[in-house]
Structure 1
Amino acid sequence: MDSGCDSDSDSDSRGGTEGHPIRGASATRIRDALETRDPFPGTAGFAGWIDDALVRDVLGRVPLFVEEPVLEGDVSLAPDRVAFSPESLAAPVLVPAGSRLGPSGLERIWSLPEIDVSESGVDGRDDATAIDAVDDAIATAIDAVDARNVAVAFSGGVDSALVAELLDAPLYVVGFQDSHDVEAARTAAEAMGRDLTVVSLEPSDLERATPAVARAIGRTNAMDVQIALPLYLVAERIAADGFDAMAVGQGADELFGGYEKVVHLDHRVEAETVRGAVREQIETLPAQLPRDVLAAEAAGVSPVAPLLHDAVVEAALALPPHLLADEDERKRALRAVASRYLPDSVARREKKAVQYGSLVARELDRLARQAGYKRRMDDHVTRYVSSLLSSDS
């Protein structure tokens, strides 16, 4: 996800192959990163053409697709087989994050660094120094955002609240009227002294938007569609109100230990330590982020994710385990930073995942059952999504 343009880039800079674009950073910066193999060259992600090859940043924050045979090395890297969206390709597959795909094949260039972090932190840094580093990194990310025409997708949780406070941008929440997210956003906005626009949903909104979302993200499985739908619907309203960009708090849970499973180390993770489990979650981002970017773009806005800027990722990777999560608190370091800017009731608030907090998952399930796709069927919501997509073709 983009977090704003670097000073040396624009949203569609030209790479080394004439007429083919690179998104998210300048060709000069990316060439430097290729030469040094630096996974964090100070961007919010990038992808596209550089010198007759394709590149994609270490976390896959900018989607980039090729026709499946291209990735397998069966055909030439022709421009008509490359796209930033899956819709224009017959058999689209993502270019792997951190890689370069060129005439000589696919090569892994960038990987997440292995940082030696003891209980006392990197090089024995104390907690205050580590938290200050996160604060400084977030400030760097915010400074990189062109905030002139951006609104915030606001759920009332600490992630979007911190982004909203630092950007000082308008707040929008999406959900069904009795949803957790709408209530949480209202109370958080009141505590912050901010106005809030509520995008109230009806079942008909889901019926209308589901085919568009599934087509845009190139996925029909229930979970992905349930997550993308609220992003699309709030982005749609933000675009209609004249904004060009939508800021989100994406990435905070993965980077800072926001999931219960990283504390309990249950069957959902392979790691045996909190830091290992957090790293596992970070490594899921390249598969997740294209969905979110494509949903927002399909609604007409550019997504902006300051908490996924290189500076923030580096600071998060350097945190000791006790500043990530434990039985008492998750995202400890991020909440410590947020408490410097937000009311404590907001900085310490827990929230639900967007598909549940907005009640989109519940209502999509209800629509599926009303259409005859009963819960006893395997993956009944996915079948319902596929049926809507087919009837909308």
Structure 2
Amino acid sequence: MQGADETTVREAIASGDPLPGTGGFAGVVDDSLARDVLGRYPLFVESDAQSGPLPRSAWSADPTDLDDPDPFPAGHVRDEGGTREVWTLPNPDPFADRETAVDAVRDAVERSVDAVDTDGLAIAFSGGVDSALLAARLDAPLYVAGFPDSHDVEAARSAADLLDRDLRVVELTHEAIERAVPEIAAATGRTNAMAVQIALPLYLTAERVAADGFDRLALGQGADELFGGYAKVAKAPNDPRVDADTVRGAQREVLATLPDQLTRDVLALRAAGVEPVTPLLHDRVVSAALRLDDAMLVDGETRKWALRRAARDSLPEAVATRDKKAAQYGSLAARELDRLARQAGYKRRMDDHVTRYVESLVE
């Protein structure tokens, strides 16, 4: 069982508690296959596996171990009775007031971050509020990946200065991208442009971290989904990218994408030689985030309002309030992968030209 002890998982199955105080889990307990409600650990089964208990050869945390792997669904258990959904995210009433909400978020975040063991740990640091919370409270080296003129490198340097921390820069190059793309595809089983673009800065950061002697990488993953960090969430119901008619509804909609996203990221990071550490995805943080109403998630133009307010005890105001770009854009990995595709003859007029380029590198 990855991520949690068997007793905790066994009790969560019996009670149906979707947030039993863990950072996620996946694996076997009492001959039953189980994966937590947010899919924080990857798990796969053979697509043609028969009903009933699975032999050890028919499931794995690594899809390359299997002949034809299918993701095991988050929130589900498979036992002799078949595969069934045991956990769904709760829908609690919002906090009564904003002060209570901020206090609860602060307590959950600080307890979760402070509990991280720093032995062998490095931190993926972009200069935004999510990774800065880790940097401010954990004694571990900071790493940022990007091309020399990228937003992430500049933002990470300025935030590191404000926190009085040293920063190690992983300078991306076209050669590194061309080498890493087929390795990412092999590890994740994905060649679509967006998946590879997102994984590139993570993978190349993790490679450097591993080469420097660290085997664990702390990331601020989950904060955007939990706390209203996406523009499409902030603009609900007027953004066609979400179906929800409230910000809180859009929050839950994007949370449903986490199992797929986290599977990609965990597999890429493990292939590069490190184990991800994601304290902002701990159950206690998830529980607090699910009790935020629309205005606690997005207040006017301020996304992640409650998290930013809670972060003020740990961070300078300029860091707590800073906006940042998604890693694939902030690092310029997406732009430069597109440039390489066009240089290789895959022009933008072609349908999905970057994916076609990625597939050519894999071939």
TM range (shorter): over 0.9
1:58 & 1:293 partners in 2: Cα distance?
Answer: 16
1:133 partner SS = helix
Aligned: 1:369 with 2:349: no
1:241 to 202, 212, 221: 212
2:85 to 108, 111, 114: 108
Q: Tell me the equivalent position of 1:9.
A: none
Aligned: 1:282 with 2:261: no
1:179 to 140, 147, 150: 150
Q: Tell me the equivalent position of 1:67.
A: 46
5+ residue gaps, structure 1, are 1-21
2:78 partner SS = strand
TM-score (normalizing by structure 2): 0.97
1:220 & 1:304 partners in 2: Cα distance?
Answer: 25
Amino acid at match of 1:139: E
Cα shift readout 1:72-115 (whole Å, capped 9, x = no counterpart): x4686221121111112221111000000122211100100111
Q: How much has 1:127 moved relative to structure 2?
A: 1.6
1:81 & 1:378 partners in 2: Cα distance?
Answer: 37
2:185 & 2:259 partners in 1: Cα distance?
Answer: 18
2:119 partner SS = helix
Q: Tell me the equivalent position of 1:334.
A: 307
Amino acid at match of 2:160: A
Give the conservation status (yes or no) of the 8 Å contact 1:45–1:59. yes
1:341 & 1:76 partners in 2: Cα distance?
Answer: 48
Aligned: 1:94 with 2:82: no
| 76 and 110 in structure 1: CA distance in 2 versus 1, 3 angstrom threshold | closer
Which range is displaced more, 317-326 or 284-293? 317-326
TM-score (normalizing by structure 1): 0.90
What is the correspondence of 1:1-393 to structure 2 with a 5 Å cutoff?
22-70=1-49, 73=50, 77-117=54-94, 121=95, 124=96, 126-265=97-236, 266-390=239-363
Give the conservation status (yes or no) of the 8 Å contact 1:261–1:268. yes
Give the conservation status (yes or no) of the 8 Å contact 2:150–2:330. yes
Cα shift readout 1:14-53 (whole Å, capped 9, x = no counterpart): xxxxxxxx11001111101111111111110000011112
Amino acid at match of 1:63: P
Give the conservation status (yes or no) of the 8 Å contact 1:255–1:278. yes
1:293 & 1:180 partners in 2: Cα distance?
Answer: 24
1:147 partner SS = coil
Q: How much has 1:328 moved relative to structure 2?
A: 2.2
Give the conservation status (yes or no) of the 8 Å contact 1:69–1:75. no
5+ residue gaps, structure 2, are none
2:22 & 2:311 partners in 1: Cα distance?
Answer: 22
Amino acid at match of 1:96: P
Q: How much has 1:140 moved relative to structure 2?
A: 2.4
Give the conservation status (yes or no) of the 8 Å contact 1:156–1:185. yes
- The count of corresponding residues between Structure 1 and Structure 2 is 361
Give the conservation status (yes or no) of the 8 Å contact 1:153–1:173. yes
1:264 & 1:328 partners in 2: Cα distance?
Answer: 10
Q: How much has 1:147 moved relative to structure 2?
A: 1.2
1:25 & 1:333 partners in 2: Cα distance?
Answer: 28
Give the conservation status (yes or no) of the 8 Å contact 2:53–2:79. no
Q: How much has 1:183 moved relative to structure 2?
A: 0.5
1:367 & 1:341 partners in 2: Cα distance?
Answer: 40
Percent sequence identity over aligned pairs: 61
Give the conservation status (yes or no) of the 8 Å contact 2:52–2:78. no
Q: How much has 1:146 moved relative to structure 2?
A: 1.3
RMSD: 1.2
Q: How much has 1:143 moved relative to structure 2?
A: 3.6
Which range is displaced more, 325-334 or 60-69? 325-334
- Structure 1 runs (4+) deviating above 3 angstroms are 73-76
1:69 partner SS = coil
Q: How much has 1:134 moved relative to structure 2?
A: 0.8
Cα shift readout 1:243-301 (whole Å, capped 9, x = no counterpart): 11000011000000001111212101101111111111111111111111111111111
Cα shift readout 1:298-356 (whole Å, capped 9, x = no counterpart): 11111001100000000000112211013320000100111111111111000000000
Which range is displaced more, 47-56 or 318-327? 318-327
Give the conservation status (yes or no) of the 8 Å contact 2:297–2:303. yes
